[in-house]
Structure 1
Amino acid sequence: MGVVMQTLKQGFKERNLAMTTEAEKLAQYWGNRLATDCPDESIATRESIVLWLLGSDCTRFDLLNPKELDIAKQAMEYRWKILHQRYLGTGRERAYRNLLMRLGSLVTLRNKIQTWVSLSRDRQRGVMDVLQEVVQELLQSDKYMQQQMACIAEFTTDKRLRDILLFASIEEYAMRPIRNQPLLVYRFVNYLRRTQRGGLTQVPTNDLIKLVSEEILTDDSDTRVNLADNQAIAEYQEAQQLEEQQVLRQIVQQEFADYLQGNLGPEAVEWLRLYLQGKSQDEIANKLHKPIKEVYRLREKISYHAVRVFALKNKPELVDSWLAISLQENNLGLTQNQWQQLHEKLTPLGRQILDLRKAGHSIEAIALQLKLKTHQVMGEWTKVYLAAQSFRTQE
Structure 2
Amino acid sequence: MDSLSQLFYQDLKNGTGAPEAGCQAMAQRLANEVQRICNESDRIQSSGDVEAWAKSLGKHRLDQCFKYYNLGSRQGRVELHSTLSAIVYRYITPPQVQTSYPARLALIEDFLQGFYVEALNAFRRENQLGDRYQPRTLLELAEFMAFSERYGKRRIPLPGRRSQQLIILRAQTFSKQQPPEVAIDIEQATDYGGDGDDVRPAASHQRVREEMIAQADDLPENSLRGRVVEELLAYLKERNQDECADYFTLRLLDLPTHEIEALLGLTPRQRDYLQQRFKYHLLRFALSHHWELVHEWLEAGLETNLGLTAQQWQQLQDSLNAKQARLLSLKQQGIPDGEAAKILGITATQFQKQWTKLLEQAWEIRNV
Same fold (TM over 0.5): no
Structure number with higher relative contact order (C-alpha < 8 Å, ≥ 6 residues apart): 2
Q: Which has the larger radius of gyration?
A: 2
* TM bucket normalised to smaller: 0.3 to 0.5
